[in-house]
């Protein structure tokens, strides 16, 4: 996602300015960089100067994208705060605040016309005063409430807030508009138990701002998003969520917590380690928890290699995974073998609470931990590197379509992949064609360092990367 600042919205009232912006800030990087959305402004209903500029700017962006053949491939919207709702509990009573109709009316019309998503920022952290900490951190073992109008049972506040937005859209006859959660997160530091001096938030104690809670919230959020369960009102709908934020914002005004939502400090040091499951490859492994006792691990290992029927032959003396000869290492290998054989489910990595799912390959030396892809095809593609120079890319493209014998017919004028008519886009298509024809090996995606392998399909519209 690429964003446009509120301060730039006045410039985006000019179509010529936006045309130039798209050509300079989007085209050179697409499709080598996966750009799916452009967010124009942020929380404009809270900024009087920006509120009436957002939709005209969005229309100019769509027009500019259309001129370069990217309309529909890159969606355009604007993120709003959860505060645009006047009511959110129970979720089925979710409704927009009528005071924002001057923005919401034109915005919803635009989203319908362009099949663009409704973008909203959700922060369950600020609901702590009205809900238990476990409910906000995705830790409630059972229902926290049942919506009396729908009978839907809710186990966490995030789902309740998101469904409130779904119902608010439905009341505006905009049920078909998909939702992207453009911001959600948790602060790692507050002012030491102070009440927040913010409108309608004086019931929130910032002592809940901590590294442990932030890690728990974001880890459980990722697990919830990737497990495919959706929300009670939309159980089959994929959740699209962005975590806020990558870096702490030391210069940001306001309460201390506002500066401390980042995964990293400004000097690039990690605030805490957060694992992101890779949806592109869908790969995961099961290993022994470092918190498990030796007796519990031994029992789990004995079960995995016995009744569980895990293949533990590689753990025997003189075999490739015998060393290091310790309980955690042997249990990890056995747990993973069982996990891979039994559907990659959370239950298959339970082992009485001694197993944990990880997304970094634990293989070492000649000891290979088996892995299955959640994408049964396990495909990869080869595209142009955004770090390559134009001259190097042109030379590589010429070679691929010439001596390399890649089929470049579809990037000719009036063909499916001619637009966008950029060097990056054409090189990406040609590189991938050569790569697929030549065994999809690392060597066939080299192009002297001007290409990279990706695990997300770069196809768009009618342009299919075979």
pLDDT digits (tens, 9 = 90+) for 129-170: 788 899 999 988 788 999 999 999 999 999 999 999 999 999
Query: How does strand 2-4 pair with strand 37-40?
Result: parallel
Tokens of 172: 């505006």
At residue 404, the 3 state secondary structure works out as coil
Q: Beta strands of 115-261 (E only): which ranges?
A: 118-121, 145-146, 153-154, 179-184, 241-243
* 199 has a pLDDT exceeding 70: no
Of all residues in the chain, the percent with pLDDT exceeding 70 is 93
For residues 314-340, average pLDDT: 91
Check if the beta carbon of residue 79 is closer than 8 Å to that of residue 119: yes
Q: How confident is the model at residue 371 (pLDDT cuts 50, 70, 90)?
A: confident
Cβ neighbours, 10 Å, residue 317: 7
pLDDT for 198: 42
Catalytic site residue 113? no
Residues 6+ apart with CB under 8 A from 151: none
Average pLDDT over residues 278-302: 80
CA 214 from centre of chain: 17
Q: Residue 102: phi, psi to the nearest 5?
A: -65, -25
Q: Are the C-beta atoms of 464 and 428 separated by less than 8 Å? A: no
Is 258 annotated as catalytic? Answer: no
Q: In angstroms, what CA-CA distances link 446 with 61, 295, 435?
A: 35, 49, 9
Token digits for 96?
Answer: 């927009």
CA 51 to CA 43: how far, in whole Å? 8
The pLDDT of residue 196 is above 50: no
Transcribe 409-444 into DSSP letters. Answer: GGGSTTSTT--S--HHHHHHHHHHHHHHHTTT-SGG
The closest alpha carbon to 12, from 81, 59, 73, belongs to 59
**Domains along the chain?**
78-259 (3.20.20.80), 285-358 (no CATH), 381-454 (no CATH)
The average pLDDT across 271-289 equals: 70
Name the phi and psi angles at 384, rounded to 5: -65, 145
CA angle, corner 403, sides to 401 and 409, nearest 5? Answer: 25
Q: What tens digit of pLDDT does each residue of 1-40 get?
A: 999 999 999 999 999 999 999 999 998 887 767 789 999 9
Q: Which of 56, 57, 64 is nearest to 26 (CA)?
A: 64
Give me the residue label for tokens 């005209």: 56
Looking at residue 174, its pLDDT comes to 83
Mean pLDDT of 43-50: 92
* pLDDT surpassing 60 at residue 99: yes
Kindly tell me the burial class for residue 270, based on how many C-beta atoms sit within 10 Å of its own C-beta (0-12, 13-18, 19 or more): exposed
Q: Which of 43, 113, 238, 323 does the annotation list as catalytic?
A: 43
Neighbours of 82 (CB within 10 A): 21
CA–CA separation, 296 and 292 (whole Å): 6
Selected catalytic residue, list 112, 183, 258, 410: 183
Tell me which H or E stretch contains 229. none
């Amino acid at each position: 996602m690429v964003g446009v600042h509120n301060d730039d919205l006045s410039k985006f009232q000019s179509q010529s300015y936006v045309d130039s912006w798209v050509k300079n800030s989007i085209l050179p990087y697409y499709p080598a960089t996966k750009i799916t959305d452009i967010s124009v402004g942020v929380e404009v209903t809270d900024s009087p100067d920006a509120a009436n500029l957002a939709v005209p700017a969005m229309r100019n962006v769509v027009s500019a994208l259309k001129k370069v053949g990217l309309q529909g491939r890159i969606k355009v919207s604007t993120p709003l705060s959860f505060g645009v709702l006047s009511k959110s509990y129970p979720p089925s009573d979710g409704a927009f605040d009528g005071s924002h109709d001057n923005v919401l009316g034109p915005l919803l019309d635009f989203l319908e016309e362009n099949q663009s998503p409704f973008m909203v920022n959700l922060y369950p952290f600020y609901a702590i005063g009205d809900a238990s900490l476990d409910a906000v951190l995705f830790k409630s073992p059972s229902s926290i409430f049942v919506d009396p109008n729908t009978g839907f049972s809710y186990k966490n506040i995030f789902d309740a807030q998101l469904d409130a937005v779904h119902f608010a859209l439905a009341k505006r006859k905009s049920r078909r508009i998909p939702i992207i959660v453009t911001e959600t997160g948790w602060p790692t530091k507050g002012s030491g138990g102070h009440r927040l001096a913010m409108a309608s938030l004086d019931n929130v104690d910032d002592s809940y701002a901590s590294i442990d809670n932030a890690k728990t919230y974001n880890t459980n959020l990722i697990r919830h998003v990737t497990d495919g369960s959706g929300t009670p009102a939309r159980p089959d709908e994929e959740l699209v969520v962005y975590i806020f934020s990558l870096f702490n914002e030391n210069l940001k005004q306001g309460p201390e917590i506002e500066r401390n939502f980042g995964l990293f400090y400004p000097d690039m040091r990690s605030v805490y380690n957060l694992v992101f499951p890779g949806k592109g490859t869908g790969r995961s492994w099961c290993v022994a928890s470092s918190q498990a006792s030796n007796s519990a691990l031994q029992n789990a290992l004995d079960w995995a290699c016995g009744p569980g029927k895990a293949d533990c032959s590689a753990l025997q003396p003189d075999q490739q995974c015998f060393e290091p000869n310790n309980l955690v290492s042997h249990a990890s290998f056995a747990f993973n073998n069982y996990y891979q054989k039994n559907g990659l489910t959370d239950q298959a990595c339970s082992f009485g609470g001694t197993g944990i799912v990880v997304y970094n390959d634990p293989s070492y030396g000649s000891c290979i931990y088996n892995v299955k892809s959640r994408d049964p095809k396990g495909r990869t593609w080869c595209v142009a590197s955004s770090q390559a120079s134009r001259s190097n890319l042109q030379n590589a493209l010429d070679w691929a379509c010439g001596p390399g014998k890649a089929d470049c017919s579809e990037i000719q004028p009036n063909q499916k992949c001619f637009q966008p008519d950029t060097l990056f886009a054409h090189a990406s298509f040609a590189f991938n064609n050569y790569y697929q024809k030549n065994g999809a090996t690392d060597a066939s995606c080299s192009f002297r360092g001007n290409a990279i392998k990706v695990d997300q399909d770069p196809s768009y519209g009618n342009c299919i990367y075979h």
